[in-house]
Amino acid sequence: MRMTESGAEPDRTFRGPIVSPVACPGCGRLVDPLRAGHVAIFHDRFQYFCDWSCRQDYLTHDPEGHAPPKSMEPLRKPSARPAARGDAPKSSDGEERETILAKGRMEAQPEREDVEEAAEWATQGEPGASRSDLGTLLLLSATVSGVLSLALALVGTSATVLTVRVVVGVVGVALLTARAVLTRRDPADPHPAVVLVPTAVAAVVAIWARVARQPVAEDAAILTGLAVVAVGTTIQLVDHVRREASATLAHLLEALNAPARKVVPSGYAVVAAQSLRPGEEVVIDAGEMVPADATISAGEGTVLPWIDAVSASKKGPGDPLVAGAKVLTGRVRATVSWAGMDRAWLRTSADAHRAAHVVTPIARFGRVFVESGALAAAALAGLAAFVNNARPATVILTVVAAQLAVASAATAAMPALHVLRGVLEGLARGIAYQDGAAWDRAAQSTAMVFCARGTLLLGEPQVAEIVQLGQATPEHLLSLVAGAELAASGPIASAVLREARARKLRADSVRSPTVVPGLGVTAITSNGEPCAVGSRVLMLNQHVPIAAVENKLAELEAHGRTVLLVAVNSRLVGMVALQDGLRPGARASVQYLLDAGVEPVLLSGDARETCEAIARSLDIEHVRPEVLPADRANEIKRIAESGVIVAVVGRPTVDETALDAADVAVALDAAGSAMSGWTAKLAGDDVRDAARALVLARTSRGHARVAVMLGAAPGVAAALSIAFGLLPAPYAPLSMLVGAVLTYLHARATDMPERERRAG
């Protein structure tokens, strides 16, 4: 120590090496790495703490070493204006984002390619992107031009007026062409050249005929004007009626275009949801949206299971999460199973290559009919006109008219709209179809099999009655059954053990228990006597006579109860009857199917009398009782052999064999899981939504078929009439307009009112 001459305090300034400070992982304060109070290594990285208490606080927050910032806010969606590199948003405790970056646990912005990809996806299906203001202006201007061209015919029939009409018609064609070039085409729409080429040809014929002073100029001018009006009006009707579906789709895309906290060795990094890949882990805090389909690996919380869901449910390790779900309370860590356009809520709605309204047979038929059928109609009409020795200009106008009559955009777009509506309505109820082919299979289903326990029934039976035979007391019977059921699993075993605990009974110390799947348990009692607990089939296998109790057994089963028979030393000593309640909505789900013409089937391992009692309460006529879990796949195949397309409702872990054997598999509470073979996955476990998965698809396909017929019938009739000379060529665009109006009115009439959607 060196004293100054005046005897002042010594100079304590430390003149050693200086390095850039880093943030303490425990408290967030800046720490000099060379003078940190404590240093530790986590995940092959040095962590510098103020002292030991900060290290303990860090590990308390996250034992695995992935501690979040001390004051962590829920992630916000990226704004419309990308933040500049120099911008530094404040964290909740006032720290600059640069300080958080210094901790090595947060990345401020997604990579450039992620931003571009997110911007590209955000424009798909969005009305403002697919039909821009410029496109709308061009469309309206073209329609006005067509109307003006027709209205000028009222002025007179002079050569000057005819010239003006032709010019105005040509302007309308040019505006329609400009709109087609400048706006993005919806993947469900036919190629615009199908209607633009014949309209342009009609305009060229009108120009040639006017210059050559041919009498066909009048018909060509009328055909051009009517074609512009019909094409413009048809497109406007299509855009208007699918505006709501496009807005819903845009809402989904916007909601799923959110940032995500991806787990990295140093903690986590904020990235765009589109950049996530299967197998990566994400962290979701309260108030944040799940960025990808994932399975919870750690943590638990209360979650709204899908976008715009109204009821929350508890989720824990092993439970799947669908992209768009929102964590209300708690904090979870999840492993990504599906990302990007593979996410359940985008796969069949927004992906142009797999969307149901683009790839399903009914949607493809509408486009093929418009694109190929129009050419066939044109060829037929041209051949007929040529055979009738018509002039070349007349033949060309006949060909153009026949093609315009069939080439209506509404014939292709309206069926696709009905399919999209069905898919979006399913998503609004937590129903996600695997792909377009899966949606079509669901629409063709004619029978739905319910694996009773956990679908129509609660799956939480209660002990309703204990019947003693001989000297055994109810307490002794329940203790014996509880001891045997300790070796088993499932709702029945849980119900027995729960009742024993409620009565404060100790389970009998049975030895050598053997579980017979679907039948019961055999064991040795604490007294050394062989015993059996289970169904009548198990009793018959163990050579236990039950004829003396058949009447009582039938009486219990007639009330819909599951009966456990108890035998000791090959002699029946009692029965335990369990009652399982119906799930909320079970009766409604059956009624949905009956109204849609789908046959409900009850499949269960319970006795016939029990199954029939349950079926009677639900108005189900087709019952398949006493089917063990191992035999359910074969039973499903036997049902399919009768000529029906079988759909099965079940739970992934319990009814997997039955689901795999079905033509259409509807899995409850499975949306977001890694399994990919099932037709439809539900984000919830409401059995009514399982029935709706079929009913919505069937109804939507039916509406799409009607739309095809309404749009095509007037055009086909007009094309045939023109081909055989029954109608003049200018009538063709009118048939297109009639078909468009019919499909528009049908689409408006079949749209579910908003009040019904809210009523659910």
pLDDT in tens, 649-687: 999 888 889 999 999 999 999 999 888 789 999 999 899
Distance, CA of 112 to CA of 120 (rounded, Å)? 13
Q: Is 722 a domain residue?
A: no
Average pLDDT over residues 201-215: 90
Instruction: Please give the model's pTM, rounded to 2 decimal places.
Output: 0.80
**453 DSSP 8-state letter:** B
pLDDT-derived band at 499 (thresholds 50, 70, 90) equals very high
pLDDT in tens, 142-161: 999 999 988 988 887 788 89
Can you give the pLDDT at residue 258? 82
Distance, CA of 582 to CA of 563 (rounded, Å)? 17
Residue carrying structure tokens 């051949």: 383
pLDDT-derived band at 43 (thresholds 50, 70, 90) equals low
pLDDT-derived band at 86 (thresholds 50, 70, 90) equals very low
Q: Is 57 a domain residue?
A: yes
Of 241, 355, 337, 249, nearest to 297 by C-alpha is: 337
State which H helix or E strand residue 295 sits in.
strand 293-304
Average pLDDT over residues 520-549: 92
Residue-wise DSSP of 694-751: HHHHHHHHHHHHHHHHHHHHHHHHHHHHHHTTSS-GGGHHHHHHHHHHHHHHHHHHHS
Distance, CA of 318 to CA of 464 (rounded, Å)? 33
Torsion of CA 337, 340, 346, 349, to 10 degrees: -130
Distance, CA of 31 to CA of 409 (rounded, Å)? 67
Domain boundary pick from 347, 367, 385: 347
| Residue 233: partners with Cβ closer than 8 Å, 6 or more residues away | 143, 737, 740
Model confidence at 123: pLDDT above 80 = no
Domain count of the chain? 3
CATH number for the domain spanning 489: value is 3.40.1110.10
Residue 597, token pair as written in the block: 């013409």
Tell me the average pLDDT of the chain.
Answer: 84
Greater confidence (227 vs 9) lies with 227
Model confidence at 254: pLDDT above 60 = yes
pLDDT-derived band at 281 (thresholds 50, 70, 90) equals very high
Domain that holds residue 337: 259-347
Distance, CA of 618 to CA of 688 (rounded, Å)? 13
* SS3 at position 544: coil
Can you give the pLDDT at residue 45? 66
Q: Is 558 a domain residue?
A: yes
Domain boundary pick from 347, 380, 395: 347
**344 φ, ψ (degrees, to nearest 5):** -55, -35
Domain boundary pick from 544, 579, 614: 579
Can you give the pLDDT at residue 504? 93
Neighbours of 476 (CB within 10 A): 17
Model confidence at 73: pLDDT above 90 = no
- The number of residues in the chain equals 760
Residue 98, token pair as written in the block: 């640069």
Average pLDDT over residues 165-179: 92
Average pLDDT over residues 617-622: 93
Model confidence at 367: pLDDT above 90 = yes
Model confidence at 291: pLDDT above 70 = yes
Can you give the pLDDT at residue 231? 93
Average pLDDT over residues 106-124: 37
Q: Is 406 a domain residue?
A: no
Distance, CA of 290 to CA of 262 (rounded, Å)? 11
Can you give the pLDDT at residue 120? 40
CATH number for the domain spanning 290: value is 2.70.150.10
Q: Give the residues across from 338 on adjacent strands.
A: 293
Q: Could you give the C-alpha distances from 626 to 520, 521, 577, 603, 612, in angstroms and in order?
A: 13, 17, 17, 8, 11
Of 697, 667, 704, nearest to 684 by C-alpha is: 667
**528 DSSP 8-state letter:** S
Q: Is 670 a domain residue?
A: no
Q: Is 399 a domain residue?
A: no
Distance, CA of 17 to CA of 34 (rounded, Å)? 8
Distance, CA of 63 to CA of 206 (rounded, Å)? 81
Q: Is 290 a domain residue?
A: yes
